[in-house]
């Protein structure tokens, strides 16, 4: 089977993934962004936080959005440390975040041992204008490598800016990423290699990996979203006639 989906907590599941066994960690963790007070962090669900003003959906809540700033940085460091151990030499980590958590995420990546290589942006053309302010129309992809970049192993040229919207129609997760963006990002993993996403959500990273001929290992804590991810991964295999990609020409 070209994919494995673990159900449960990411840190627990990562401990069972062997050393030096994945080629890229590409993940979109709960951002834990914007809770100024304890009651804002613990009393407001991810659903309320990410979908205020959007009353037309019945998407399920997800866990893991209640950490304060210091514990988020500590927790993310633990996760990225375990991910580092599981990644091959010269493998890459790509971690989504927002503007508030950008400094914490670059700190956590480096504290975990990765060599920080840069920040790419996901630009969302459909975003809410804010009176008297600059529009928050981007989320960010902090990336790094385990040691040196090996461009002979994976001779790709990838963009630093990705523009795409996730249409509301057909959306399955509150913070779902557009699959076309993820299909570009998984190319940081050499053809036929393995992509790990410890926060799989509805499985978008995995669908992208399978479409691009990469293997996938995902972890998801919410049973509801793990079921959705499993269905999407299975249907990506049948629809796209999965074949492991060979070396780039």
Which parts of this chain interact with ligand SAM (CB under 6 A)? Answer: 9-10, 28, 30, 62-64, 173, 175-177, 199, 201-202, 204, 219-222, 225
Cβ contact 62:236 at 8 Å: no
Question: Closest approach of Cβ 215 to ligand SAM, in Å?
Answer: 18
- Residue 177: CB minimum distance to ligand SAM, A: 4
Phi, psi values for residue 21, rounded to 5°: -120, -10
Q: Looking at beta carbons only, is 16 or 152 nearer to ligand SAM? A: 16
- Complex with ligand SAM: residue 34 or 90, whichever CB lies closer: 34
Question: Quick check: 205 and 175 in contact, CB under 8 A?
Answer: no
Say whether 236 sits in a helix, a strand or coil. helix
CB of 8 to ligand SAM, least distance (A): 7
Compute the distance between CA of residue 128 and CA of residue 143 in angstroms, rounded to an integer.
27
Of the two residues 23 and 220, which places its CB atom closer to ligand SAM in the complex? 220
Give the nearest distance from C-beta 202 to ligand SAM in angstroms: 3
33 vs 90 by CB, closer to ligand SAM: 33
Specify the residue, 78 or 115, whose C-beta has the smaller distance to ligand SAM: 78
Least Å from the CB of residue 190 to ligand SAM: 22
User: Distances in Å between the alpha carbon of 236 and those of 6, 117, 169, 243?
Assistant: 18, 31, 19, 11
- Least distance (Å) between residue 198 CB and ligand SAM: 6
How far is the C-alpha of 236 from the C-alpha of 108, rounded, in Å?
32
Find the helix packing angle between 204-211 and 223-239, rounded to 10°: 20
DSSP 11-41: HHHHTTSPTT-EEEEEE---------SHHHH
- Please give the radius of gyration of the chain, using alpha carbons only, rounded to the nearest integer: 17
Q: Which is nearer to ligand SAM, 87 or 175 (CB)?
A: 175
Residue 69 or 115 with smaller CB distance to ligand SAM: 69
Quote the least distance from Cβ 131 to ligand SAM, whole Å. Answer: 28
CA pair distance 98, 122, nearest whole angstrom? 10
Ranked by CB distance to ligand SAM, the top (closest) residue is 201
């Amino acid at each position: 089977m070209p994919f494995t989906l673990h159900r449960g907590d990411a840190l627990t599941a990562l401990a069972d993934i062997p050393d030096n066994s994945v080629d890229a960690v590409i993940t979109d963790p709960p951002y834990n962004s914007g809770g100024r007070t304890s009651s804002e962090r613990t009393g407001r669900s991810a659903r309320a936080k990410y979908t205020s003003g959007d009353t037309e959906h019945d998407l399920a809540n997800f866990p893991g959005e209640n950490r304060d700033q210091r514990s988020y940085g500590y927790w993310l460091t633990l996760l990225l440390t375990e991910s580092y151990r599981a990644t091959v030499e010269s493998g890459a980590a790509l971690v989504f975040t927002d503007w508030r958590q950008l400094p914490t995420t670059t700190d956590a990546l480096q504290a975990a041992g990765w060599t920080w290589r840069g920040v790419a942006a996901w630009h969302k053309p459909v975003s809410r204008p804010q009176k008297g302010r600059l529009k928050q129309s981007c989320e960010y992809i902090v990336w790094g490598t385990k040691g040196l970049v090996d461009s002979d192993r994976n001779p790709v040229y990838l963009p630093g800016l990705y523009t795409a919207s996730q249409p509301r129609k057909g959306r399955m997760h509150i913070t779902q990423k557009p699959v076309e963006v993820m299909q570009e990002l998984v190319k940081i993993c050499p053809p036929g290699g393995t992509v790990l996403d410890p926060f799989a959500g509805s499985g978008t990273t995995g669908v992208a990996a399978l479409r691009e001929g990469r293997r996938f290992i995902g972890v998801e804590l919410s049973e509801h979203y793990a079921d959705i991810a499993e269905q999407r991964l299975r249907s990506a295999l049948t629809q796209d006639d999965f074949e492991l990609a060979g070396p780039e020409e």
